[in-house]
Structure 1
Amino acid sequence: MTFEEKLVNQEYDRIWQEYCGFLDLDMDSYMKIQKRLLAEQMRLWCSSPIGKKILKGRNPGTVEEFRTMVPLTTYDDYADVLLLKKEDMLPDKPIIWIQTTWEGGKHPIKVAPYTSGMLETFKNNIITCLMMATSKGRGSFDIDIGDTFLYGLAPLPYITGLIPLGLSDQFHMEFLPPVKEAVDMTFSERNKRGFKMGLSKGIDFFFGMGSVAYYVSMSVASLSESGRKGGSSLKKLFTMPPSMTLKYLRAKKQCRKEERPLMPKDLFKLKGFLCAGTDNRCYKDDLEELWGVRPVEVFAGTEPSFVGTETWNRNGLYFFPDACFYEFIPEEEMYRNMDDPSYVPRTVCMDEVVPGEVYELVPTVLRGGAFARYRVGDMYRCLGLTSKDDETRIPRFEYMDRVPDIIDIAGFTRISENSIQNVIGLSGLEVEDWVALKEFTVDKGRPYLHMYVEMSPGSVVNRAVSRELLKEHLTIYFKYVDQDYHDLKRILGMDPLEVTILRCGTFKEYKNKTGKKLRHINPSIHDVQDLVKMQELFDRQRRY
């Protein structure tokens, strides 16, 4: 029976139990589901050619043996099979292949196979997310057949393109613009067409990356502003029915009275708002102000699929027990492994996480998935093992960021040490040493890439002038090496790079005084501050 048929029959209790019942589990029940599904996956994965290749003759028979015998893996362990789409090597037959960025400048893309079982789980879990976005409390949700959905998503072959595909055989939801039209449109064209249709039909759901959702939302204000200054771009863009015209005029009048720009909440009343991706916490307050609804954060990845959602209280992510088997590398173990790649970090399971601790997620994809004990590259903080507000007895998490050796800006980039070295090499710049870290603006808390660069002796004459020239030069090559970096400017209008030039010898002096060399990517902010202070002290001594 489809979700739509259950809605028509008004089987609301059944729907809640089927899609949201995992929130009623205690830890023992949750782990029983996890271990049962992993045992099923083990039989498929361990007997497949890709599993045998990674296991190298070992044959685990229990969950504990699986965690001991299967090494922690990365995409490099699967690339030769997956990039060539060797289906006969996989645990189960793929129905569709999903694509994402791998590493700019070195590996353009990575692909992941989705089996029929994975797609079925995906469909169920995206419906759960929609229910959570409309829920006011346990047992309540507000989804109707024919609800409208603003299409702020990347189309196939990206994972968000699976959402309309997955929902299509479960219940009728009207995407604005229709998916068949949207896939052939540019990002800007989809936004304009979607809002135009939304003014006529209303918008019930909006789902996008936090950064993209913010940009799309601000476009309403900018269109309103052009109309307020005497232009007619909004009127030309939208052909509104009388009811919406009246609503628009009333909204503009109220906005003028309050001396503020038009916001989406003045025109639309969302049932549910969902956001995914990196840096959502930088945008959620502004999105709530713009739409009048706080987004429910969900988490999905190309390799692990849809794995988690917040509830009606929006106080942390809960992981779906049927998408992946979850292991977690404690933060100190992760850093020890970064300092010594030969060290094998220990992992803990869901029933062993500690509130307040930060972990690197290590999922094993269930239902015939290809990835086992996979270092997906995401960091989470455990917020608690229970929640009085949600009346839950399973852990909930806060998404932190990508792992420290990757800099992800607004969900668009995968900047690594290799990609920066590649940019510097192609540019021909005389760079002696550098560090790069993700920082946030003071005014709005927006993410950006900050590079601290020491040029070779004799290459810098005027630091104030050279900084702008260096930034411009590096930006050109970042865009050349990494298409996603280019899209930050093209799609979101962001210039994510800031450059600070350090005097010659600063890195060497820092190492001599502290006895340590800074990591190139995301060193401790305190260490970078010490580095800058060392130069400031030198500059003051030189002036006096």
Structure 2
Amino acid sequence: MNYGQRLKKQQHSQLWQEYCGFLDLDIDEYMKIQNRLMQEQVRVWISCGLGRKLLGGKQPETVEQFRKLMPLTTYDDYADILLQKRGDQLPCEPVIWLQTTWEGGKHPIKTAPYTRGMLDVFKTNLMAVSTLSASNGRGKISLRSGDKVLFGLAPLPYVTGLFPLLFEEEIDFKFLPPVKEAHKMSFSQRSKKGFSMGMAQGIDVFFGLSSVISYITENFASMFGGSGSNGIKKLLQCSPVMAFRFLRAIYECRRDERSIQPKDLFHLKSLVCAGTDTASYKPGLERAWGIKALEICAGTEPTLIATETWNHNGMVFFPDACFYEFIPEEEMNRNLEDPSYVPRTLLMNEVIPHHNYELVITVLKGGAFARYRVGDVFRCIGIGDNGKSTRLPLFTFVDRTPDVIDIAGFTRITERSIAEVVEISGLKIAHWLGKKEYDEKDRPYLHLYVELEEASLEKTATSVRVLKEHLEVYFTYFDSDYEDLKKMLGIDPLKITILKCGTVKGFKEMTGKSLRRINPPQLELLELLKFDAQQPRGKWGDGQI
């Protein structure tokens, strides 16, 4: 029997134990699973063409030897094999290839192979996520076959496109819009169509990118159309249950003189969200939808690797998806300053609460990636939660590594991409710094601090406008998701501040510090801005757009 059939037979305890039993492990039991699966992966990985290439002919026999002999890797190490989809060079034959963006115009996409074993683990962990998101305690599951699912995540060939396919094998969810229809639509069209269907039929489960759910939430009142002919038209399209909720919501909101909220109309069983900056969106989502969002972590290369428990107090990494290593923050920063420095890594049983770590993964079950730097930073917030839901380390997602600026999970901006557009703009720019910052609504954006050469000072305002136009055209051309930030989410992802001439050079001479071009430390950036404010304005003006 599949998951849905067992739900119908009320086998809640058995389902909970099968899919969520990993939460009851202690760290020693967890590491036994990690080491056993990693030992299996080492055996198949070192014997394939990719393994022989990256190991340079070395033959480690244990997990410890593998960690010593195998260098840390990035996608550049795999590109020649994976971009050509050379399955004959991999540990196991892939059954599907997924893709994601890489570095804009220079490297448009990354591809990643998935084996049948990886998909089986993915499915198991996806059902664990579904179980936890629809539970308010151990063994309590409110899901049912036929539940209506609003799906606000990307389709295949992106990793989240696996969700509907794997759900089909386990439970009869009704997706809004239907999966076959959704594949023919753009991301924006799918979101609007699905929400329109949800307004008419109801929504039981909502999977989505946090920034997209937040945008729908903020614009709910206007999308709702609760008055006039538009409201009557929507009412006629509703099921009897939704029509009743519709009318009651209109009455209560007028009585209380307040704007309508999603919780006035929908009674969600489950709200699952993913993506960069989720932490900044979750409080508002809970207030609007009347349910706590369950945060998960998934990616093209690492697969589905982590979920919050039903207590929503941090994420736990699934023990069977990847073998996890962690680079301490100070080691990561030292490596950023000196790329030749090889950072040390810790295992799951060595992480310390209240410390940040860059994640390193080896994908299990025949995966291609070994000791792979995903580019994500997590913070360990504790070891267990006093036995309430787990005894394992709990994590929160912090952000991408400092050399990448990820805006709302849509677009990734690197030093190279900014440097290229600055060069092709033709503007006389002496120095620039890029920093990810947040507006008054906690929405992320790229803040570019620019110092122009003296010859351009009299044209400061014009230069800023030209630079902003060049950047937006460049990012839109090489990353279509950048435009969606403005059209879909109402986010202006770029702000430019002009620094006074000589600020960066003077700051370096005064402090002896050289700031990173991408995401410089906040305290050092504040020092720079303070130094800038103390400089004489001169005959030219500084500005901000």
Match of 1:535 in 2: 532
Please state whether the residue corresponding to 1:439 is helix, strand or coil. strand
1:107-506 equivalence runs, <5 A: 107-224=107-224, 227-228=226-227, 230=228, 232=230, 235=233, 239-388=237-386, 390-441=388-439, 443-461=440-458, 463=460, 466-506=463-503
Counterpart-to-counterpart distance in 2, 1:258 and 1:349: 53
Query: For 1:245-274, what per-residue CA distance to the aligned partner results, in whole angstroms no more than 9, with x for missing partners?
Result: 232122012112233222211111000000
RMSD: 1.8
Counterpart-to-counterpart distance in 1, 2:478 and 2:505: 29
User: Do the aligned partners of 1:187 and 1:491 also contact (CA within 8 Å) in 2?
Assistant: no
Counterpart-to-counterpart distance in 1, 2:23 and 2:163: 22
Shift of 1:188: 3.5
Gaps of 5+ in 2: 541-545
Match of 1:516 in 2: 513
1:15-26 equivalence runs, <5 A: 15-26=15-26
Query: Using a 3 Å threshold, how does the CA distance of structure 1 residues 406 and 188 change in structure 2: closer, same or farther?
Result: closer
Query: For 1:389-440, what per-residue CA distance to the aligned partner results, in whole angstroms no more than 9, with x for missing partners?
Result: 6342210101000000000010011111001011112222221110001111
Gaps of 5+ in 1: none
Query: For 1:339-396, what per-residue CA distance to the aligned partner results, in whole angstroms no more than 9, with x for missing partners?
Result: 1111110000000000111000001000000000000000000011121163422101
Counterpart-to-counterpart distance in 2, 1:122 and 1:311: 17
User: Do the aligned partners of 2:443 and 2:491 also contact (CA within 8 Å) in 1?
Assistant: no
User: Do the aligned partners of 1:325 and 1:363 also contact (CA within 8 Å) in 2?
Assistant: yes
Query: How many residue pairs are counted as aligned between the two chains?
Result: 540
**Greater alpha carbon shift after TM alignment, 78-87 vs 237-246:** 237-246
Query: Using a 3 Å threshold, how does the CA distance of structure 1 residues 238 and 431 change in structure 2: closer, same or farther?
Result: farther
Structure 1 vs Structure 2: percent identity of aligned residues? 55
Query: In the alignment, residue 423 of structure 1 is paired with which amino acid?
Result: V
Query: Using a 3 Å threshold, how does the CA distance of structure 1 residues 145 and 236 change in structure 2: closer, same or farther?
Result: closer
Shift of 1:475: 2.0
Match of 1:49 in 2: 49
Query: In the alignment, residue 510 of structure 1 is paired with which amino acid?
Result: F
Counterpart-to-counterpart distance in 2, 1:401 and 1:122: 23
Query: For 1:57-109, what per-residue CA distance to the aligned partner results, in whole angstroms no more than 9, with x for missing partners?
Result: 11110110011111100000000000010010011011111111111232111
Please state whether the residue corresponding to 1:539 is helix, strand or coil. coil
Shift of 1:482: 2.6
Counterpart-to-counterpart distance in 2, 1:7 and 1:377: 38
Counterpart-to-counterpart distance in 2, 1:148 and 1:430: 55
Counterpart-to-counterpart distance in 1, 2:431 and 2:369: 37
Please state whether the residue corresponding to 1:94 is helix, strand or coil. coil
Please state whether the residue corresponding to 2:102 is helix, strand or coil. strand
Please state whether the residue corresponding to 1:150 is helix, strand or coil. strand
Superposition TM-score, scaled by structure 2 size = 0.95
User: Do the aligned partners of 2:307 and 2:315 also contact (CA within 8 Å) in 1?
Assistant: yes
**Greater alpha carbon shift after TM alignment, 388-397 vs 342-351:** 388-397
Query: For 1:484-534, what per-residue CA distance to the aligned partner results, in whole angstroms no more than 9, with x for missing partners?
Result: 222212322211111000122111111111112211100011111111111
Counterpart-to-counterpart distance in 2, 1:234 and 1:26: 56
User: Do the aligned partners of 2:271 and 2:293 also contact (CA within 8 Å) in 1?
Assistant: yes
Counterpart-to-counterpart distance in 2, 1:157 and 1:8: 32
Shift of 1:39: 0.7
Query: Using a 3 Å threshold, how does the CA distance of structure 1 residues 482 and 196 change in structure 2: closer, same or farther?
Result: closer
Please state whether the residue corresponding to 1:80 is helix, strand or coil. helix
Superposition TM-score, scaled by structure 1 size = 0.96
User: Do the aligned partners of 1:223 and 1:234 also contact (CA within 8 Å) in 2?
Assistant: no
Query: Using a 3 Å threshold, how does the CA distance of structure 1 residues 169 and 47 change in structure 2: closer, same or farther?
Result: same
